[in-house]
């Protein structure tokens, strides 16, 4: 029962709070969802801020390519987000921006007027500043400067989150949005990196199964500088099944027979039982551990378990 969950606290006895900032509905389930499920189970308050409604997202599940769905994609994606939110056990907040779409072609077409990626982060960070000051999170997560991958909304999500991280702590910025809050730590998701993908690829081959990563790894030269950015590996394998259920709730965005689910859970659990992060900003100490990796986003904040 939820009321019997343990509650992790900081040194002042305050329950821990975690804020994920994502670009679209479904990103919260494809990036860090097992970490989320673990912390929810530990009594951490987890909030997902979704920048856009995913209005211009493509339908990526062939079974969902129907005229009625295409005509109502905004409402359907909101309903999918509600289902995923229930599965993960989080509170979710829409920040109210309009999906930019993923421009394709050569040359690339211009982004649509009024979309999220064309906003000024110094101003468009305001809804997130208000949420940070309301929630007072100990930890914030988002994407790196490349957006995790170069979708214009992911890159803008990074920029807006960094702007809000600074502004929320500044008494002179947006004074009408509440008392300042300086979140102690900010992390970037490091979900799809070479070492993890190679380990899963080799494990699939060793089990006599076809790897979904063969094409992607072909010609991908490992970049040590990129890999070395990882500072934190959160053990969460027991929640991989929750992650998958949440992702499947986004039925327009995920093919249940596709690459997302090609690696059996027992292989993932044995080979790579963590979700990985880069500690990008810290107000409580260095951003890199003295040695090894952190195993907790709340390292240095949470009271150790008795």
Q: What are the pLDDT digits (tens) for 126-182?
A: 999 999 999 999 999 999 999 998 999 999 999 999 999 999 999 999 999 999 999
Q: Quote the pLDDT of residue 1.
A: 39
- The answer to whether residue 151 sits within a structural domain is yes
**Structural domain boundaries, residue 136:** 2-193+228-282
Q: Is 266 annotated as a binding residue?
A: no
Position 98 confidence tier, pLDDT thresholds 50, 70, 90: very high
Instruction: Convert the pLDDT of each residue in 257-282 to its tens digit.
Output: 999 999 999 999 999 999 999 999 99
- The answer to whether residue 69 sits within a structural domain is yes
- The answer to whether residue 304 sits within a structural domain is no
- The answer to whether residue 246 sits within a structural domain is yes
For residues 128 and 164, is the Cβ–Cβ distance under 8 A? yes
Q: Is 138 annotated as a binding residue?
A: no
- The answer to whether residue 305 sits within a structural domain is no
- The answer to whether residue 211 sits within a structural domain is no
CATH of the domain at 34: 3.40.50.10320
Q: Is 226 annotated as a binding residue?
A: no
Q: How many domains does the chain have?
A: 1
Strands of the sheet with 139-142, listed across from one edge: 91-97, 45-52, 17-22, 139-142, 185-189, 274-282, 232-235
- The answer to whether residue 214 sits within a structural domain is no
Predicted structure pTM score: 0.96
- The answer to whether residue 46 sits within a structural domain is yes
Q: Quote the pLDDT of residue 122.
A: 98
């Amino acid at each position: 029962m939820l009321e019997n969950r343990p509650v992790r606290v900081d040194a002042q006895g305050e329950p821990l709070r975690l804020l994920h900032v994502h670009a679209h509905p479904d990103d919260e389930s494809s990036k860090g969802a097992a970490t989320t499920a673990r912390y929810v189970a530990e009594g951490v308050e987890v909030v997902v801020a979704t920048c856009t409604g995913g209005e211009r997202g493509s339908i990526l599940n062939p079974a969902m390519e129907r005229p009625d769905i295409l005509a109502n994609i905004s409402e359907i994606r909101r309903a999918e987000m509600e289902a995923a939110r229930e599965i993960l056990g989080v509170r979710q907040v829409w920040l109210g921006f309009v999906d930019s779409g993923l421009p394709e072609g050569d040359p690339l077409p211009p982004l649509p007027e009024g979309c999220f990626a064309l906003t000024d982060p110094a101003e468009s960070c305001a809804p997130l500043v208000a949420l940070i000051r309301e929630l007072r999170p100990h930890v914030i997560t988002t994407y790196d400067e490349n957006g995790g991958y170069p979708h214009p909304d992911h890159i803008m999500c990074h920029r807006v989150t960094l702007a809000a991280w600074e502004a929320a702590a500044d008494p002179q910025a947006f004074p009408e949005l509440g008392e300042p809050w300086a979140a102690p730590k900010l992390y970037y998701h490091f979900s799809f990196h070479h070492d993890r993908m190679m380990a899963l690829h080799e494990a699939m081959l060793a089990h006599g199964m076809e790897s979904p990563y063969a094409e992607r790894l072909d010609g991908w030269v490992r970049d040590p500088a990129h890999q070395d950015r990882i500072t934190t590996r959160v053990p969460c394998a027991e929640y991989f099944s929750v992650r998958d259920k949440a992702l499947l709730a986004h039925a327009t965005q995920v093919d249940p027979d596709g690459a997302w689910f090609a690696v059996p859970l027992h292989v993932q659990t044995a080979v790579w039982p963590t979700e990985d992060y880069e500690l990008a900003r810290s107000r409580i100490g260095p951003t890199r551990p003295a040695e090894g990796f952190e195993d907790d986003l709340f390292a240095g904040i949470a009271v150790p378990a008795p």
